[in-house]
Chain A
């Protein structure tokens, strides 16, 4: 018999790289989109601008633009979805 089930090992490695490294990467991307690349320290103290269709680019980014916000929500959504799937997997006794 073969001592290593290469097929199962390969699946674990590939899926592990996609999920295990992809989730933190998406999380990081989401945070980056929310934070802005060159956020000034006072970004949070600026009054909430609400939906004004795009923050001025010249100064510190007070709020993420709608596009960035949407991107961040998409990233975080995938992360939360993956966690939810993990929970369902555990509860369903798939282990």
Chain B
């Protein structure tokens, strides 16, 4: 019976790690491709396809897998399979919630938050290295955007100066290619970095479950499945996040897009080179903001940016809360049933969030609609643009119903997924 439980737990951890990998790709497409989509350097679908292929290639490029989870943040001795499962669920749920609200937030921070919460629930505060949490998660979240804003701001300003007087069609043609190239580098870097994390989790789980020897390399099926999960997630495209990054923060042209993506690529690669790990998402968002700061006459929507900063600060505790609740549930029910209950919770809350997202779908057809700060990320025009394709919307949705529809959507999430009450505050 114990064997069955162990095997089931191991299988569920692997599946959940792949699901996290999927949401990671899904959530982070915008980091690389949002600006290229917004400036129409690439068609939306071409952009996500290119990014997916590069993520896939990137996952195979480098196999220096660090088989550690949340190293230096939680005590490595307390990480067990149930803790990993609860942590992963915390990361996935927070990723999906931020996606629902179109907020680019760090997938790795969500995972770390989920793990910290699960460890807290499992062994209490002694299992968490708080200095590591501050030094490796919270402080970098504050610093990354500042560095990226400075770099992208200077880059954009220089580009604007140097191309003054050059006809716009000439700069557009050139910078279009520059933008695609630099965005591709960001995608590739994402593939090499982030797919490794899921591979590391699965490898650790396999070792812990006794499926492979402790000194084992990464089995090929793990590399392949992680690469594919991330590529599929990337291809489906977190259109809500892409929209916020590409249209919500700054109205950008190809010159700004190229400067922003180059800044992202440079800061991401340099930070890992100097061992000062910064989140891809935070850097990419900062770069887009910087391209607005550096461009003479450009307007930056700081209110949108402010909401993001809040979400970044909340990521750790929020994902931690989900992780902790999952672990409590897991240990309260116990055994196979407890594991299955956590997995069921994940499936149900994911489904609920997806259903909520369908009320105001954002996809490749409307990702570039004009941004209206009054409505935030919401799209009244959805009915008009998608109406041609589907016949379901007989009449335009009344304004009142549309305005209030987010409320029921959120409370629908709340009824099935326990962490939602705290998230309501985040979204509001």
* Residues in chain B near residue A4, CB distance under 8 A: 135, 139, 143
A94 contacts chain B at the CB level, 8 A cutoff: yes
* Residues in chain A near residue B271, CB distance under 8 A: 12, 16
Roughly how many angstroms separate A15 CA and B275 CA in the complex, as a whole number? Answer: 13
Q: Closest approach, in angstroms, between the C-beta of A73 and any C-beta of chain B?
A: 14
Cβ of A94 and Cβ of B272 under 8 Å apart? yes
Which B residue's beta carbon lies closest to that of A38?
B165
Residue-wise, chain A 15-52 has the 8 Å CB interface mask toward B (1 for contact) of 11101111111011101101101110100000000000
Cβ of A90 and Cβ of B189 under 8 Å apart? yes
Cβ of A9 and Cβ of B262 under 8 Å apart? no
Selected from A8, A27, A28, A29, the residue in CB contact (under 8 A) with B275 is A8
Cβ of B64 and Cβ of A9 under 8 Å apart? no
Which A residue's beta carbon lies closest to that of B153?
A21
B265 contacts chain A at the CB level, 8 A cutoff: yes
Given the known interface contacts A28-B163, A37-B166, the answer about A13 and B174 at a Cβ–Cβ threshold of 8 Å is: no
Selected from B158, B175, B188, B275, the residue in CB contact (under 8 A) with A31 is B175
Selected from A3, A23, A27, A95, the residue in CB contact (under 8 A) with B131 is A3
Cβ of A39 and Cβ of B166 under 8 Å apart? yes
Q: Closest approach, in angstroms, between the C-beta of B199 and any C-beta of chain A?
A: 13
Residue-wise, chain B 148-192 has the 8 Å CB interface mask toward A (1 for contact) of 001110111011001101110011001100100110010011001
Selected from A11, A13, A37, the residue in CB contact (under 8 A) with B150 is A13
* Residues in chain A near residue B275, CB distance under 8 A: 8
The count of residues in chain B whose C-beta lies closer than 8 Å to any C-beta of chain A is 53
Q: Which residues B122-149 have CB closer than 8 A to chain A?
A: 131, 134-135, 139, 143, 147
Cβ of B265 and Cβ of A3 under 8 Å apart? no
Selected from A5, A19, A22, A37, the residue in CB contact (under 8 A) with B270 is A19
Cβ of B62 and Cβ of A90 under 8 Å apart? yes
Given the known interface contacts A20-B266, A90-B189, the answer about A12 and B135 at a Cβ–Cβ threshold of 8 Å is: no
B340 contacts chain A at the CB level, 8 A cutoff: no
A83 contacts chain B at the CB level, 8 A cutoff: yes
Selected from A12, A19, A34, the residue in CB contact (under 8 A) with B147 is A12
Cβ of B139 and Cβ of A20 under 8 Å apart? no
Given the known interface contacts A19-B270, A86-B185, the answer about A9 and B276 at a Cβ–Cβ threshold of 8 Å is: yes
Selected from B158, B159, B170, B270, the residue in CB contact (under 8 A) with A15 is B270
Roughly how many angstroms separate A15 CA and B265 CA in the complex, as a whole number? Answer: 12
B279 contacts chain A at the CB level, 8 A cutoff: no
Q: Closest approach, in angstroms, between the C-beta of A7 and any C-beta of chain B?
A: 9
Q: Closest approach, in angstroms, between the C-beta of A88 and any C-beta of chain B?
A: 11
Which B residue's beta carbon lies closest to that of A94?
B273
Residue-wise, chain B 248-283 has the 8 Å CB interface mask toward A (1 for contact) of 000000010011001101110111111110100000
* Residues in chain A near residue B267, CB distance under 8 A: 12, 16, 20
Counting chain B CB atoms within 10 Å of each CB, the highest count among A1, A13, A20, A31 belongs to: A20
* Residues in chain B near residue A5, CB distance under 8 A: 135, 276
Cβ of B150 and Cβ of A17 under 8 Å apart? yes
* Residues in chain A near residue B344, CB distance under 8 A: none
Roughly how many angstroms separate A94 CA and B192 CA in the complex, as a whole number? Answer: 10
A59 contacts chain B at the CB level, 8 A cutoff: no
B193 contacts chain A at the CB level, 8 A cutoff: yes
* Residues in chain B near residue A83, CB distance under 8 A: 181-182, 185
Roughly how many angstroms separate A22 CA and B143 CA in the complex, as a whole number? Answer: 21
Which A residue's beta carbon lies closest to that of B146?
A13
Q: Closest approach, in angstroms, between the C-beta of A61 and any C-beta of chain B?
A: 12
Roughly how many angstroms separate A5 CA and B181 CA in the complex, as a whole number? Answer: 32
* Residues in chain B near residue A38, CB distance under 8 A: 165
Roughly how many angstroms separate A37 CA and B178 CA in the complex, as a whole number? Answer: 20
Q: Which residues A38-80 have CB closer than 8 A to chain B?
A: 38-39, 41, 79
Q: Which residues B310-351 have CB closer than 8 A to chain A?
A: none
* Residues in chain A near residue B278, CB distance under 8 A: 12
Given the known interface contacts A31-B163, A93-B64, the answer about A24 and B270 at a Cβ–Cβ threshold of 8 Å is: no
Other than A25-B155, A91-B61, A93-B64, give 16 A-B pairs with Cβ distance below 8 A: A4-B139, A8-B275, A8-B276, A9-B276, A11-B274, A16-B267, A17-B151, A17-B154, A20-B265, A24-B255, A24-B258, A25-B159, A31-B166, A90-B58, A90-B61, A90-B189
**The 5 A-B residue pairs with the shortest CB-CB distance in the complex, in nearest-first order:** A20-B266, A93-B64, A21-B155, A8-B276, A25-B158
10 A/B residue pairs, CB under 8 Å, sorted by A: A12-B267, A12-B271, A24-B155, A25-B155, A27-B258, A27-B262, A28-B255, A37-B165, A39-B167, A92-B62
